[in-house]
Amino acid sequence: MDTWIGLMSGTSMDGIDAVLVSFQGKTVHIHDTYSIPYPKELHHRLVLASQNQATPDEIGELDTLTGLLFADATENLIRNSNVGHSSIRAIGSHGQTLRHQPSGPGRFSLQIGNPAIIAEKTGVTTVGDFRSRDMAAGGQGAPLVPAFHQHFFGSETEDRCILNLGGIANITWIPCEPGSPVTGFDTGPANALMDAWCQDQTGRSYDEDGRWAQEGIVDQALLTDMLSDAYFDRPAPKSTGKEKFNLEWVKTLVQRHGETRPEDVQRTLLQLSVITAVRQMPQSPTMTVYVCGGGTRNRLLMRELTQALSPIRVLDTADLGLDPQWVEPTAFAWLARQTMERKPGNLPDVTGAKGPRILGAIYPA
């Protein structure tokens, strides 16, 4: 049986997740996983580059450095799993997003982490640059995981909403009625703003279990101001990133409201993530929400989400057979398989593309 590797680094820019998987029908078998954090200096440089504070030379160098780190993560995964290189059909690498601008005359989405370096260092065929073909066909280039969600998480008995709480939150709506379209889009910020504010105010890279946020209270005036952002009322298809929702966005809004305790801001940002996801979520009497992504580790976030959705059931994707931490990297392993088998990887109803497209660029071993 062929095995596949998926590599993912999200908008939180905290590191690289690598997964070795095989697929059998609608079942995913995870053989091994590996995670590697970004070195502190590299992380700092990536953050600056994502804020347009990098020269072309610096971006080129970061493309190489992140490519080398993606290759190291892959090699460690292969070494630890004792799986021979020859049994791995391909690697699917999302890369590290620096900028995502899906509107305007010069639309683009920029991911670095040179796939050619991954293929060269590992000796395994690598598929990268998944977003640009969808964008060339008029799509947003994101989110791309809904096609994977549909294939593996669809049900004939219940409507399912897959909520990914990454740096940015996105939903995939999978109705059980045959022939009904699968839809999905980015609802707005999730961990990205909470992590950025926590780092800025406390020096900690994230708020473990939401403990710091729990010390605060929701600032209703600030929350109302945040919710007035036009993105939240924009119809799908839509996608966003840290270009829009970043630390400066938070600070600008906080300054309008005078003295606000930092922990109250953190609590308000958590509530923003909950409300924007819930308000934009389709509703049905047979609906179950399945959550994945790093936000599942934030107990306060999950508690508030469950309360906001009650009486709708809220579970995580482990109940569907896939650990919530490994859904996205597994999705890019599957997208690599789609590319290698010359099958589409996008859903036009999600991204807005003119039609299904085979995604990615192949770098042969």
Annotated binding site for ATP: 10-17
* Range list of β-strands (E), 293-355: 313-316
SS3 label, residue 244: coil
Residues in the chain: 365
Q: Write out the binding residues.
A: 10-17
Using a 10 angstrom Cβ sphere, with 0-12 exposed, 13-18 middle and 19 or more buried, the burial of residue 312 is middle
Residues 9, 4: Cα–Cα separation, whole Å: 17
**Nearest to residue 201, comparing CAs of 254, 122, 273?**
254
Using a 10 angstrom Cβ sphere, with 0-12 exposed, 13-18 middle and 19 or more buried, the burial of residue 255 is exposed
Q: Name the amino acid, one letter, at 351.
A: T
Residue with tokens 């990205």: 192
SS3 label, residue 255: helix
Q: Which residues pair with 84 in a beta bridge?
A: none
- For residue 348, what are the CA distances in angstroms to 39, 144, 155, 237? 37, 10, 20, 9
User: 40-59 burial string, b = 16+ CB within 10 Å, else e?
Assistant: eebeebbbebbeeebeeeee
